[in-house]
A and B are shown apart, each in its own frame.
Chain A
Amino acid sequence: MKKMQLIKYILNNLSEKAMIYKSSYILLNPVVEIAGGFCFEGSATKGDFYVSYFNQPLYIVHDYLHLTFGDRLADSKNHSCFNLEDINEVEVQDLLTVMNNKIQFLKELSDPIKFYSYYKSRHQGNLRIREAVIYTSFWLSLPTAYDELNDFLASFSSEDLSILWRKDLRDKLIQLKEHPQPKVLLEQWKQETLSNLKLNSSAN
């Protein structure tokens, strides 16, 4: 079986209809503020693949989909690596079940309020997750947003800013902090991400 065939089969048999197929990704439709979906990730071993589920806040500028807010899926036997040549119908059905079970979670976390609540208390050692929580805080116009941002920036002094992405992360947060209308800025960034990902037509 080819990867594309498998993805299309799964797309047609998921409980959630009208999902968007995009390269190795299947995305919940419509894409509004936070994307959610599955990724069929290849491997160095021919035919092997992993299936990940993920959410991605679109108001953080990106030009690619990433899998930080999610994880790899495992089937009922706890297998997380599958092979296109070996996989049989029972295993595909098993995988479908696992994916169907995850859709509700993805939908819920596509809501910024739930995304914020969920990640605010998780993985706060991960800069990217903390960044997303703060962005979401601004997106929701929470009164705590500036405090969260300031705390984060204060703790950022110990970070190695010679690493490009960390410096970029900090600079963007400062830009957000200093912008007179942060929500407007976030909306611009969201449009930029949608454009980068070529998801404009799917967005509301």
Chain B
Amino acid sequence: MPHHKKHHGVLSHHTVHSGKGAKHTVKLDSVVKGDTHIHAASHKDAAKQISAIVRDTMMEMARRIHAHRNHTKKEQSNAFFNKLKSDLANTKPQAPQTSQSTLQEKLSRLTDVNELSKRLPNFARLSKKMQPEEEDNPQKAYEKGEKQNEENFQRKLNEIQNSRADSDFKKWVAGIGLAGVVDLRNKLFASMINEYQTAPAARAMYGSDIHAEGNGVLVPESIRQRLWTEANEETIPILKATWAAMQSSGSTSGITFTGNLARTVSNSEEGWDMIKGVAVQVGLDWALHLAGGGASDIARTAKKVITAAKPVEELSEVVIKAKALPPKVKTSVPETVEKTTQESTPIAKEGTAAKPSKVKTSVSETVEKTSKESIAKEGTTENITISPADLEKIKEKVQEAAYKAVEIVGEGKGRAYGTSVHTEFKKQILLLKEQGYPVDAEISYLGGEKVVYGRKGSIRADVIIGDIKSPIAVFDLKTGSAKLGAKQMANYKANLPSSVENNIFEMRVDN
């Protein structure tokens, strides 16, 4: 038992008495920066006691850090809701405000990878650990690791766009793009590191370094590495939970939030987890973790905020929309919904924003800065990539729409019949578009540019697949004896964007 024990918070001062009243003072600076005084029969016993004290001290330290993190999380939660409410109230379009620009500028600096790597010198070492083969070149290792991370993010973004997730969510994500996701990850990592740095006695526990970011507390590399991995893994779930919270008037609990989170499901595993209620907690936890500001920044860029709560009944339907759910789920829903579940919505939009070139002039600097700022979100089309398999599926859908149009119009012939079929076909295509298929109807082009319908010299595509700026396939519907002749084909090629010149198809339907 300790002979004398002065408590100073976690840190204790102990004196060791061992053997025949011998007294040794054992300094544990490396652990707690305090003196330890212990009564012990032998040095061995003293060592045991010291070990126990160190362990107890570390446990207490951990408990306090944990308690602090929980407390911080609650505070962050409140801040999150307050910011979100404020953001929601300010979604009305208005002229750019200085304060917002300043904030964006600040955030740009905060979240810029280059800037961050300057302030976080351990980034390179961190990547080096993860990729030992690159250990001789930390910068290269960091770049390689970061490239992989970005590729993973892009895959996730593509997965979302290819899934049956809610179309508003897809648009929102497309607007954020890869650059936004990377920013979010960086913010998340910074917020996680900050928690460790500001924990009680963090400086005593971890030491400090003038090169360390923030308050200079040097969080050990092992912890940094773990946080970095966590930040990368949790970015997309947080993104989803954030959107769901925004759609739920800032709430991160309850059936509305759960229903909205279900609208973000983009793969079968998530769909299954959602059904089991696992993902909700995970997403919620990380949404709260973002309270440092990331969520509200994204809220500011959202195209629109739907404040109306979704009816509870939608939940089951939305969850079922997850692509390729396990069989037992499929059997529990109506056949029509099941059919939709098995089909993919093959939209894939890239939101990548290349890093701007480093330039010197003032305009160039402004351009560079602007490229990091969020421009009011277009909210519609980004670069669309569609796999050949998905393209085939969409083509089938377009063909089905044509058959349906003929079926609805009924029998007929001549020009009037052709016009009726075209009109009905357009309706069917627009219905597909409303369902989220990357198709559009009645698009006119002239000289590689989208122009208004009827522009002299323009051609009009009955259906396009892909973005109207860069479609990847064009269809011309023909009925009766009409044909897509060489002259018309040449006219298409002469006016369509170059992205589509080899994918111009005649779609023939006859009753």
Measured CB to CB, the residues of A under 8 A from B are 15, 24, 39, 41-45, 50, 64-69, 71-72, 74, 77-81, 100-101, 103-105, 107-109, 113-114, 116-118, 120-123, 125-129, 140-144, 159-160, 163-166, 168-169
Contact = CB atoms under 8 A, between A and B. Distances in A.
Given A125-B470, A126-B499, A117 B356 contact: yes
Contacts of A105: 375-379
8 contacts: A68-B469, A71-B468, A79-B434, A104-B95, A105-B379, A126-B499, A164-B494, A169-B448
B205 to A, nearest CB: 43
Contacts of B356: 117, 120
Given A126-B469, A165-B495, 17 more contacts: A42-B453, A67-B449, A67-B451, A78-B434, A80-B433, A81-B430, A101-B304, A105-B377, A113-B363, A117-B356, A117-B370, A120-B371, A126-B499, A142-B367, A143-B361, A165-B494, A169-B448
Contacts of A41: 452-453
B83 interface: no
B41 interface: no
A68 B449 contact: yes
A128 B379 CA distance: 21
Contacts of A74: 380, 434
Interface stretch (B14-22, B268-276, B288-296, B439-447): B439-447
Nearest to A106: B376
B493 interface: yes
Contacts, number: 158
Nearest to A148: B357
A165 B459 CA distance: 14
B384 to A, nearest CB: 9
B152 interface: no
Nearest to A43: B442
Nearest to B419: A44
B422 interface: yes
B366 A113 contact: yes
Interface in B408-463: 419, 422-423, 426, 430, 433-434, 440-442, 446-455, 460
Nearest to B422: A44
B135 interface: no
A178 B450 CA distance: 29
Nearest to A124: B383
A117 B371 contact: yes
Contacts of B455: 64
Contacts of A164: 447, 494
A163 B494 contact: yes
B426 to A, nearest CB: 7
Nearest to B435: A78
B452 A39 contact: yes
Contact of A71 (B304, B364, B380): B380
A117 B375 contact: yes
A116 B361 CA distance: 15
Contacts of B364: 140, 142-144
Given A71-B468, A101-B304, A127-B498, A15 B93 contact: yes
B382 A122 contact: yes
Contacts of B303: 101
B432 to A, nearest CB: 11
Contact of A123 (B441, B469, B493): B469
B43 to A, nearest CB: 67
Nearest to A23: B452
A108 B375 contact: yes
Contacts of B423: 44-45
A166 B499 CA distance: 13
A41 B317 CA distance: 35
A113 B370 CA distance: 7
B354 interface: yes
B352 A121 contact: yes
B375 A109 contact: yes
Contacts of A65: 452
Contacts of A126: 448, 469-470, 497-499
Contacts of A160: 501
Interface in B334-376: 352-354, 356-357, 359-361, 363-364, 366-367, 370-371, 375-376
A126 B383 CA distance: 10
A26 to B, nearest CB: 13
A142 B363 contact: yes
Contacts of B167: 78
Interface string B367-411: 100110001111111110000000000000000000000000000
Given A123-B469, A127-B497, A108 B376 contact: yes
A111 to B, nearest CB: 8
Nearest to B456: A64
A123 B371 contact: no
Contact of B469 (A120, A129, A140): A129
Contacts of A81: 426, 430, 441
A157 to B, nearest CB: 13
Contacts of B377: 105
Contacts of A120: 354, 356, 371
B96 interface: yes
B150 interface: no
A113 B367 contact: yes
B94 interface: yes
Nearest to B91: A101
Nearest to B454: A42
Contacts of B497: 126-128
A113 B452 CA distance: 26
B467 interface: yes
A109 B442 CA distance: 26
B16 to A, nearest CB: 65
B94 to A, nearest CB: 7
